[in-house]
């Protein structure tokens, strides 16, 4: 499975020739000016929640590519109002079999208002179960005991966790989250984009290493192979 990082909490995973983009926030990210948003052509966009730093480029990418957008029910309704019809509403606890594998929506402790103030429902994380491997994307969330349920559903090859603190888990809590989900390979996201979430990345890598885990922090536009 290949993962390409586009900055902040935006990344793309390729599974069975399907390109799955997560939390499309690129053109407003000052650190991601080298990413050519117009050339991103996914088959799916998964949105963890409705905050602008996760959905800002969703409407334009979805309109151009025709991809299917998967999100909480309320975010789906909002997207429909923006003229994006190819959507799939889900909610926490539910799963669906897509053409690349099965996705289960899990608890994330955060908030989810949409950019125009509309109600966005609850934020979510996603557990992906596929022939090419399994992974968990936590979305924006606090450390939560609910994460201990993840290994009962999936043996993970990797997990994508926020590490930036202030709005989400910090590095120490992300290490505990990695324990809760029983995963040693972590891709860190949601850090260094704004002043509130600056992380000492070298120390973060060392802290994970001391806990017997690997923290991967791909550069923007870098593609890494996982599982
Ligand atoms: Ni958020
Ligand atoms: Mn966020």
CATH number of the domain at 48, please: 3.60.15.10
Is 98 within the bounds of a domain? yes
- Look at residue 136 in the predicted model and tell me its pLDDT: 98
72 contacts 88 by C-beta, under 8 angstroms: no
Instruction: Please tell me the distance from the alpha carbon of residue 175 to that of residue 224, in angstroms, as a whole number.
Output: 21
User: Which ligand number lies closest to the CA of residue 189?
Assistant: 2
Instruction: Please tell me the distance from the alpha carbon of residue 54 to that of residue 48, in angstroms, as a whole number.
Output: 7
Q: Please give all residues whose CB falls under 5 A of ion ligand 1, grouped by chain where several chains appear.
A: 51, 140
Is 225 within the bounds of a domain? no
Is 50 within the bounds of a domain? yes
pLDDT band at 148 (very low <50, low <70, confident <90, very high): very high
Instruction: Please tell me the distance from the alpha carbon of residue 89 to that of residue 74, in angstroms, as a whole number.
Output: 8
- Look at residue 98 in the predicted model and tell me its pLDDT: 98
Q: Distance, CA 65 to ligand 1 centroid (Å)?
A: 25
Residue 127 has pLDDT above 80, yes or no: yes
- Look at residue 41 in the predicted model and tell me its pLDDT: 98
User: Which ligand number lies closest to the CA of residue 9?
Assistant: 2
Q: Distance, CA 4 to ligand 1 centroid (Å)?
A: 21
User: Which ligand number lies closest to the CA of residue 190?
Assistant: 2
Pick from 227, 225, 202: which is nearest to 215 by CA? 202
6 contacts 12 by C-beta, under 8 angstroms: yes
Beta bridge partners of 223: 4
For 194, phi then psi, to 5°, come to: -130, 170
Q: Distance, CA 131 to ligand 1 centroid (Å)?
A: 30
Q: Distance, CA 63 to ligand 2 centroid (Å)?
A: 23
Q: Distance, CA 53 to ligand 2 centroid (Å)?
A: 5
Residue 224 has pLDDT above 90, yes or no: yes
- The tokens describing 156, both together, are 């993970």
User: Which ligand number lies closest to the CA of residue 23?
Assistant: 2
Q: Distance, CA 60 to ligand 1 centroid (Å)?
A: 20
Pick from 80, 79, 141, 85: which is nearest to 115 by CA? 79
Indicate the pTM of the whole model: 0.98
Is 226 within the bounds of a domain? no
Residue 68 has pLDDT above 80, yes or no: yes
Instruction: Residue 201: give the domain boundaries.
Output: 2-219
Is 227 within the bounds of a domain? no
Q: Distance, CA 167 to ligand 2 centroid (Å)?
A: 7
Domain total of the chain: 1
Residue 28 has pLDDT above 80, yes or no: yes
Residue 227 has pLDDT above 90, yes or no: no
Pick from 12, 24, 3: which is nearest to 75 by CA? 24
Pick from 55, 3, 65, 67: which is nearest to 27 by CA? 55
- The tokens describing 219, both together, are 């550069």
User: Which ligand number lies closest to the CA of residue 191?
Assistant: 2
């Amino acid at each position: 499975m290949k993962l390409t990082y586009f900055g902040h909490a935006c990344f793309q995973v390729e599974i069975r020739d399907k390109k799955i983009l997560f939390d499309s926030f690129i053109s407003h990210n000052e650190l991601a000016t080298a990413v050519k948003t117009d050339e991103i052509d996914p088959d799916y966009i998964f949105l963890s929640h409705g905050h602008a730093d996760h959905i800002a480029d969703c409407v334009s990418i979805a309109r151009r590519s025709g991809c299917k957008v998967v999100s909480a029910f309320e975010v789906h309704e909002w997207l429909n109002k923006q003229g994006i019809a190819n959507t799939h509403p889900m909610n926490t606890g539910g799963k669906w079999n897509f053409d690349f594998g099965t996705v289960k929506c899990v608890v994330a402790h955060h908030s989810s208002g949409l950019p125009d103030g509309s109600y966005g429902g609850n934020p979510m994380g996603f557990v992906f179960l596929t022939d090419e491997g399994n992974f968990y994307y936590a979305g924006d969330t606090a450390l939560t005991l609910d994460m201990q349920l993840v290994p009962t559903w999936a043996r993970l090859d990797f997990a994508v966790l926020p590490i930036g603190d202030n709005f989400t888990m910090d590095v120490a809590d992300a290490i505990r989250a990695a324990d809760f989900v029983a995963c040693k390979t972590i891709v860190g996201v949601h850090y260094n984009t704004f002043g509130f979430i600056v992380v000492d990345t070298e120390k973060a890598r060392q802290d994970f290493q001391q806990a017997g885990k690997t923290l991967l922090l791909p550069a923007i536009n870098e593609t890494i192979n996982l599982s």
